[in-house]
Amino acid sequence: MVDLSQYLPILLFLAVALVLSGAFVFLPMLVSRVTGTHNPTPEKLAEYECGFPAFEDSRSQFDVRFYLIAILFIIFDLEAAFIYPWAVSVFTLGWTAWFAMMIFIAELALGLAYAWKKGALDWE
């Protein structure tokens, strides 16, 4: 027979998590209704990110080139994130770290050349 009292701390943890997450979601909505700050007007419901109404449906599909450019940006942004700490400590790391970074940069350069040759960077 299984002793179910061992599961009591887990159940208490789940109950507290559910109560707190529900409070964080529903309590601000309740407070805004009670205090009167929930007053949707046409000005509050208008577009605010670009300043003018959208031209078409917001669920329209984007061209795949947007995603390719974003992926390439992330790859080369990560390159900078790896190179900066290496550059700060290159003199204390020795020649092994220098050769490892040169191999890393060469691999990224080959990737850039491949993407360039395939036309991923061309915008038509």
Which amino acid appears at position 96 of this protein?
Answer: T
User: Rounded distance, CA 109 to CA 107, Å?
Assistant: 5
Residue 18 φ/ψ, nearest 5 degrees: -65, -40
What is the SS3 assignment for 122? coil
Q: What is residue 14's predicted lDDT score, i.e. its pLDDT?
A: 96
24-41: pLDDT as tens digits: 999 998 988 888 777 778
User: Is the model more confident about 43 or about 99?
Assistant: 99
Pick from 117, 116, 105, 124: nearest CA to 72: 116
From the CB of residue 121, how many other CB atoms can be counted at a distance below 10 Å? 13
DSSP state of 29: H
* Stated pTM of the model: 0.45
Q: What is residue 55's predicted lDDT score, i.e. its pLDDT?
A: 66
Q: Does the structure show a pLDDT above 70 at 52?
A: no
What is the SS3 assignment for 50? coil
